[in-house]
C-alpha cells in the first residue's frame, strides 16, 4: 500500500470516529428567542426597505467593541485595538469602531483609502503581496499608517516607495506562525528576524518598530499562547538596540465569538468525509457545535503568556487585530419567501451571492420566520434563487409555518459575509443601520 493511501485511510477513519458535540438546545433557543423578541423592530424596517436586506445594529457593534477592549485593558498595561476591515468592509462599521477608540487594520489600497476617507488617525497596513502603488499610498500617509512588512523583498520595495515620496515610514515585520504548509505564505521565518532587522537598519526611509503575527480561527488561545512563547525566545536573542526601539508586538486577530462554531452535519469531520465520499449527509435538524472560550478567558491566557515571555524582554505596547469577534453579531440578514414548492422546500428572493460563499452548507445558523414566529424548528430546505443547488440558507426554519411572502431572518451575519458578497445574478442586499 502506498504511504499516502495508508495515511489517508487513517485520517478518514479518525474523522469518521470523531464525535462532534451536539449544539445545546438551550443555547440555541436562547438566541432564537432573543431575535424573535426584536421581531417587530425588524418587520418595521422591512416595511420601509424591501428585502433582501442587511441590518447593521450599532448598539451590538458598540457593545462588542467595549467588551473586547475591557477584556484586554483589564489584564494588560498598554493595548492598541485595530479592527480588521476585511472582516466587514461596510464603511459605517469602521466609522463606528473608530468612534469607540479602535484603529483600523487594512490589507489593501482600497481598504487604506476607506480608512483615510474616514479620517482614521491610526492605521496598520498588513497582508502579503502589497503592490508598488499601495506601498507609495502608505508612505504618503506615513503619519497615520504603520506598514507591517511581509517579506525581505517587500522591505526593499517599501524603502524604494518611501524614498520616492521622501517619507520615513514606521514599520513592523510579520513573522510566520508556521513556516511549513499553507501558512508559509505569511511573513518571514522567525529565525530570519535578526537578518531582517539588520537589513531594515540599512533602510534610511524605514523605522522598524514592531513585530506582528496572526493565527486565525481560534476557539481557544492555545495556538497563540504557544507562538508567544516562541516569539519571546526569539526576541530575547535580538540585539539590545533593536529591543530598545521596539514599540509594539502585534498578536493579530482570530478570536472566535463566545457562542462557538455552529455546524451542519456536513461541516463536522465525519460529515465532510461522508460528503467527499458522495454518501448522503442529511440531518436537517442535526446541529453541531465547537465550543469557544469567552473573550475574558482569551485575554487572561494571552496576557499571562505575554507577561511570561514578552515583557521580560521588552515592555512594549501590545496590539490586537480582531475582526470576526467585533462584527459577527452586529449584522442580520433579512430575506423573503418567493416560492413555496412543497411543505419542506422553499425559494427566497436573495441568493447566497449576498454572502459570497456556500456558507450554510457547512455552518448552521437558525432561520427565523418573523411573519409566523414560534419556538419550534421545522425541517424545510431553504434555497436562494441562484442557478446552483449549493445556494442554500439552511435545512430548517423556526416558526409556526412558512408561506410565500414571509420574512425570514438569519442572525449573526456580520463577519466574512458582507465583504465577500458577489455581484452575481441577483442584486446585492442594501444595508440599513439602526
Ligand X SMILES: Cc1ncc(COP(=O)(O)O)c(C=O)c1O
- Binding residues vs ligand X (CB under 6 A): 84, 86-87, 105, 126, 214, 216, 252-255, 321-325
CB of 88 to ligand X, least distance (A): 9
Contact 225, 302 (CB under 8 A): yes
CB of 156 to ligand X, least distance (A): 21
Residue 322: name the closest of 261, 258, 256, 259 by CA: 256
Nearest residue (CB) to ligand X, 128 versus 239: 128
- Can you tell me whether residue 415 is helix, strand or coil? coil
Beta strand 392-398 with 407-410 is: unpaired
Contact 330, 57 (CB under 8 A): yes
Q: How far is CA 281 from CA 8, 11, 137, 266, 274, in A?
A: 20, 19, 49, 6, 7
Nearest residue (CB) to ligand X, 118 versus 219: 219
Nearest residue (CB) to ligand X, 63 versus 160: 63
CB of 17 to ligand X, least distance (A): 29
Nearest residue (CB) to ligand X, 172 versus 411: 172
Nearest residue (CB) to ligand X, 224 versus 369: 224
Long-range contacts of 265-268 (CB under 8 A, 24+ apart): 266/361, 266/362, 267/361, 267/362, 267/363, 267/364, 268/18, 268/20
Neighbours of 8 (CB within 10 A): 11
CB of 121 to ligand X, least distance (A): 19
CB of 70 to ligand X, least distance (A): 17
Nearest residue (CB) to ligand X, 183 versus 311: 183
Residue 175: beta bridge partners? Answer: 188
Beta strand 345-348 with 331-342 is: antiparallel
- Can you tell me whether residue 65 is helix, strand or coil? helix
CB of 218 to ligand X, least distance (A): 8
CB of 84 to ligand X, least distance (A): 3
Number of helical (H) and strand (E) elements in the chain, helices listed first: 14, 19
Nearest residue (CB) to ligand X, 85 versus 142: 85
Amino acid at each position: 500500500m502506498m504511504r499516502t493511501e495508508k495515511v489517508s485511510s487513517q485520517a478518514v477513519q479518525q474523522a469518521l470516529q470523531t464525535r462532534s458535540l451536539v449544539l445545546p438546545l438551550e443555547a440555541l433557543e436562547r438566541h432564537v428567542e432573543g431575535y424573535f423578541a426584536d421581531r417587530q423592530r425588524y418587520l418595521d424596517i422591512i416595511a420601509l426597505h424591501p428585502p433582501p436586506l442587511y441590518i447593521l445594529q450599532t448598539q451590538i457593534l458598540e457593545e462588542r467593541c467595549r467588551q473586547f477592549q475591557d477584556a484586554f485593558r483589564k489584564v494588560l498595561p498598554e493595548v492598541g485595538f485595530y479592527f480588521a476591515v476585511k472582516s466587514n468592509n461596510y464603511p459605517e462599521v469602521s466609522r463606528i469602531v473608530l468612534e469607540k477608540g479602535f484603529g483600523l487594520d487594512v490589507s489593501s489600497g482600497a481598504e487604506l483609502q476607506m480608512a483615510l476617507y474616514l479620517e482614521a488617525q491610526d492605521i496598520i497596513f498588513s497582508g502579503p503581496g502589497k503592490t508598488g502603488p499601495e506601498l507609495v499610498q502608505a508612505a504618503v500617509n506615513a503619519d497615520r499608517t504603520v506598514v507591517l512588512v511581509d517579506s525581505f523583498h517587500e522591505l526593499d520595495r517599501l524603502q524604494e516607495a518611501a524614498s520616492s515620496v521622501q517619507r520615513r515610514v514606521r514599520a513592523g515585520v510579520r513573522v510566520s506562525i508556521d513556516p511549513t504548509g499553507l501558512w508559509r505564505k505569511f511573513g518571514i521565518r522567525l529565525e530570519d528576524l535578526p537578518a531582517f532587522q539588520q537589513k531594515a537598519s540599512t533602510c534610511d526611509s524605514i523605522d522598524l518598530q514592531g513585530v506582528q503575527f496572526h493565527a486565525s480561527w481560534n476557539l481557544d488561545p492555545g495556538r497563540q499562547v504557544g507562538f508567544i512563547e516562541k516569539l519571546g525566545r526569539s526576541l530575547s536573542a535580538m540585539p539590545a538596540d533593536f529591543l530598545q526601539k521596539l514599540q509594539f508586538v502585534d498578536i493579530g486577530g482570530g478570536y472566535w465569538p463566545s457562542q462557538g462554531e455552529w455546524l451542519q452535519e456536513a461541516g463536522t469531520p465525519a460529515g465532510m468525509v461522508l460528503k467527499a465520499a458522495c454518501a448522503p449527509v442529511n440531518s436537517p435538524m442535526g446541529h453541531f457545535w465547537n465550543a469557544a472560550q469567552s473573550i475574558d478567558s482569551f485575554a487572561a491566557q494571552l496576557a499571562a503568556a505575554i507577561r511570561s515571555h514578552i515583557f521580560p524582554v521588552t515592555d512594549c505596547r501590545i496590539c490586537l487585530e480582531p475582526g470576526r469577534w467585533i462584527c459577527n453579531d452586529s449584522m442580520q440578514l433579512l430575506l423573503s419567501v418567493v416560492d413555496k414548492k412543497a411543505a419542506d422546500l422553499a425559494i427566497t428572493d436573495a441568493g447566497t451571492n449576498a454572502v459570497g460563499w456556500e456558507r450554510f452548507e457547512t455552518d448552521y445558523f437558525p432561520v427565523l420566520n418573523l411573519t409566523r414566529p414560534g419556538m419550534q424548528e421545522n425541517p424545510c430546505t431553504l434555497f436562494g434563487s441562484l442557478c446552483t443547488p449549493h445556494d442554500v440558507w439552511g435545512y430548517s426554519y423556526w416558526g409556526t409555518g412558512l408561506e410565500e411572502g414571509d420574512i425570514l431572518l438569519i442572525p449573526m451575519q456580520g463577519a466574512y459575509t458582507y465583504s465577500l458578497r458577489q455581484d452575481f445574478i441577483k442584486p446585492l442586499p442594501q444595508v440599513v443601520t439602526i
